[in-house]
Chains A and B, each alone.
Chain A
Amino acid sequence: AQKITQTQPGMFVQEKEAVTLDCTYDTSDQSYGLFWYKQPSSGEMIFLIYQGSYDEQNATEGRYSLNFQKARKSANLVISASQLGDSAMYFCAIRSNYQLIWGAGTKLIIKP
């Protein structure tokens, strides 16, 4: 069975600094996908970035990048130049076949 672990329940980061949110996963599947979503206080889940298990390059989307270390089963999200609007819950999820398995999330607070 797949499992996602996010070990940081909460983080405080100074505005404009880079931040790394940790995610480790467990799966026996050869083909899988890793997702990061952002959930602001409004509640809606917003897709940020995706990494496929066979992708050789680390995924990047604007200020978001994914530090994918397959041997370590790690898929950390890096946010560069953090902004006040980045304050939210961040969830890592793994997908195999039909289901997304979610971590418990990390609450990120950006300080001005």
Chain B
Amino acid sequence: DGGITQSPKYLFRKEGQNVTLSCEQNLNHDAMYWYRQDPGQGLRLIYYSQIVNDFQKGDIAEGYSVSREKKESFPLTVTSAQKNPTAFYLCASSIRLAGAYNEQFFGPGTRLTVL
């Protein structure tokens, strides 16, 4: 079955630590995205990538970093510079980046809690 997997489902971090959230897709999609969701709010874009070895900052990239070494993988690192990292993180992919119709497929999410 094609889809997007994210791991872990729940993640606890101490203040000052970096953590990396995994995102893998087997849909053969070129574009991948990371979103952050806070309670009672919609999704906000952290980073996106349209192709291997290329990625761009979204609206709230500060304190986060990404890499895109393989088409299938787009890991997100939450660094200690992120002031308020506790949130629900969603990874998504789409066939390509541009175009008005471009459905994004989502993974199950990772819930990060800073202790």
Interface residues of A (CB under 8 A from B): 4, 9, 31-33, 35, 37, 42-47, 50, 52-53, 91, 93, 95-100, 102-105
Contact = CB atoms under 8 A, between A and B. Distances in A.
Contacts, number: 63
Nearest to A35: B103
> Interface size for chain B: under 10, 10 to 19, 20 to 34, or 35 or more residues?
20 to 34
Given A45-B92, A91-B42, 11 more contacts: A9-B40, A32-B100, A33-B101, A43-B88, A43-B90, A43-B108, A45-B104, A47-B103, A47-B104, A91-B43, A100-B43
Contacts of A93: 42-43
B22 to A, nearest CB: 16
Interface string B42-66: 1111001010000000100000000
B109 A44 contact: yes
Contacts of A103: 42
Given A44-B109, A99-B45, A99-B58, A104 B40 contact: yes
